[in-house]
Structure 1
């Protein structure tokens, strides 16, 4: 007997299953929260990869509540939790029905949503009341055409309104898109307790190196062109051009793992590169506040993944028009740029991603309302470019000077006073 709050439609399970990678993506918000927290998994099933990932994410002081879709599974699910031993069974409880659940910092839907748009909307509305203020609802939906009866489109709409991050998990059968939704604002201090989130759609090359999904796509296009050229122009070596280009193209989008300093007073570099300038100024685009601005130039050989210099909540994001001057030149001040504005416990911080003479594409992945940990990836700029970090001038002390080399997420460029 099913008692899922939508009647089992939006949460019903067809051929879609969540593998280990998808399960880790669904539970990522839970795993990166280093403070004591409570999580809720609805539509939990026996042997679920999502339940396993949620248990693995628990820290001392955390608690987890499981709500199975079918009341007949309650006893078996409780036995499964007991089999994990006392450390888990003391922190995880299985309840008979959703109304008995307490509000949670993270609510996770344990199976992909495959119903209609109305069913998905009803499901989200029903689960929203079980979130604490600033809590996150994590939900997966099939990412293939016709994979749902309208739920995918509704989740995309909800993400446009309330999304604070998401990921496409290609290594699942079929692929799924994970959405993280926040219906009420989170307190800015909550960002201080988070660890950086990893984009699971990037491709691991080694334990410490990934290729961003943009690079995977670009390399795939290059290899596709090579295959097409070889098939249509037999005997020609023309296919070698795109085939050989695939490696440096993918390398440009490399995304190394970085050790973020533990010092809470540290401000880290937003990108790899060479420091162009350190100065106090006012920027009319950011109001009358005086900032300490640290500008870093990225050559085409630098890692172009951008990271948040501080922990904070994204409160604004805007793009300014301009030219495409060489990024190391003073004229780059007026290039096309994307500004990410963060509220922090130390004041307002801004990161500007500036285009260059070659760079014309800015990728931004931190929706307004999302929380960024210090050193967390939030976007990238394609080819040579520049990043500017604006800090409150009266609160921050610079630790770098012009000409210094920095590594994004690892090098300390300033310290809070």
Structure 2
């Protein structure tokens, strides 16, 4: 067989198709590695959207090995690859079965079909694919997100995610919706993060080429419009329904998620959020280790973009939430507000990003699990409504380039430079 028994193209209610959006999510780990790499794609046919996305993600030095979904499908796949032209044919090789693949050779392994079998089949399938991963490499797999559509695969992948997950995405714009998991079974060096570009986020809904709306904004706007519809039905003679209806647009706009040009300079530390610099100071904080820290605190008003980005490339090694109050984020007492701390291990030392709540902000979203690698400027979370974001850098290793009152743009403005 060319595929694991756990990989199925049908669920309880019929065929499962991986569309273009889900395919891009499955191959996102391949697409974000800048250096030459080897990848393994298992379980696809000539018309597979996953195969098309993987080919599109290839760089000049890459090598992609493809295993067909059907036992006798290698010939059709080879013909399809050859028809793509010499550039693709030189980088993509088709083998007859998974047994022909070189063990522990790939930096990324992608399952091209959805897992929808039993718990045992899914576990066996993951183990079978994992042995082809090199140290620190990632296995990318998908399962049906609709409850009751699998016979154990969804639950098993959720368990695997809790143990080895370095990122998961729900892709609603697929029929049926699927959840994509990225699993890493052996530790990755923080230095790998320097090779990455920011990951594609399928939960952000594109409005234009350069502007998206985060999924939180889509949900909030949907709730506002639903409230308007209910009010209109309950009180047809009243104009109260206009209030939530008119609020839907501004609420969605608050969660806007623009594309940003991240500086390529390896010595640059970028702002973690849009806003105004409140303070730049040196301090001690034993929670993050001995020594002095350089902290750049940025206030985000309700008019600023609230998506948070990694100021440097690094590996998430810790995440914790400190209890506190909800004081106006511009005031000194905001120091003791509820805050979420994401600790990054980098080639230059430890870097910490603190997401602090404010007077209105009561909800912090952090999407980077421990073990995940973040590229510089990569989205990793957001804070709902007015808030503050602090970046802690080793004081002896970085020099600040901004001061109180300066406006900064998340992912673009250089707030400090490594010495």
TM-score w.r.t. the length of structure 1 is 0.97
Question: Matched residues in 2 for 1:285 and 1:337: separation?
Answer: 13
User: Which residue of the partner structure matches residue 199 of structure 2?
Assistant: 197
Aligned residues: 414
Contact kept in structure 2, 1:198 and 1:377, CA below 8 Å: no
Question: Matched residues in 2 for 1:195 and 1:231: separation?
Answer: 48
Give the counterpart of 1:331 among 330, 333, 336.
333
Q: Does 1:11 align with 2:13?
A: no
Contact kept in structure 2, 1:4 and 1:11, CA below 8 Å: no
User: Which residue of the partner structure matches residue 87 of structure 1?
Assistant: 87
Gaps of 5+ in 1: none
Q: Measure how far apart 1:169 and its partner are.
A: 1.0
Question: Matched residues in 2 for 1:52 and 1:4: separation?
Answer: 19
Q: Measure how far apart 1:12 and its partner are.
A: 4.1
Contact kept in structure 2, 1:298 and 1:304, CA below 8 Å: yes
User: Which residue of the partner structure matches residue 74 of structure 1?
Assistant: 74
> Is the deviation greater in 360-369 or in 79-88?
79-88
Question: Matched residues in 2 for 1:36 and 1:57: separation?
Answer: 12
Alignment map for 1:288-307 (pairs within 5 Å)? 288-307=290-309
Q: Does 1:25 align with 2:25?
A: yes
Question: Matched residues in 1 for 2:33 and 2:46: separation?
Answer: 25
Q: Measure how far apart 1:363 and its partner are.
A: 0.1
Question: Matched residues in 2 for 1:264 and 1:349: separation?
Answer: 15
TM-score w.r.t. the length of structure 2 is 0.97
Q: Measure how far apart 1:285 and its partner are.
A: 2.5
Alignment map for 1:215-364 (pairs within 5 Å)? 215-364=217-366
> Is the deviation greater in 30-39 or in 161-170?
161-170
> Is the deviation greater in 121-130 or in 363-372?
121-130
Q: Measure how far apart 1:329 and its partner are.
A: 1.0
Give the counterpart of 1:206 among 205, 208, 211.
208
Question: Matched residues in 2 for 1:270 and 1:23: separation?
Answer: 29
Question: Matched residues in 2 for 1:133 and 1:348: separation?
Answer: 23
User: Which residue of the partner structure matches residue 119 of structure 1?
Assistant: 121
Q: Measure how far apart 1:229 and its partner are.
A: 1.1
Alignment map for 1:158-173 (pairs within 5 Å)? 158-173=160-175
User: Which residue of the partner structure matches residue 401 of structure 1?
Assistant: 403
Report the secondary structure of 2:388's partner residue.
strand
Q: Does 1:367 align with 2:369?
A: yes
1:306-347 CA-partner distances (Å, limit 9, x unpaired): 000000000000111111111111111111110000011111
Contact kept in structure 1, 2:2 and 2:43, CA below 8 Å: no
Question: Matched residues in 2 for 1:330 and 1:257: separation?
Answer: 32
Provide the alpha-carbon RMSD of the alignment.
Answer: 1.1
Question: Matched residues in 1 for 2:84 and 2:207: separation?
Answer: 33
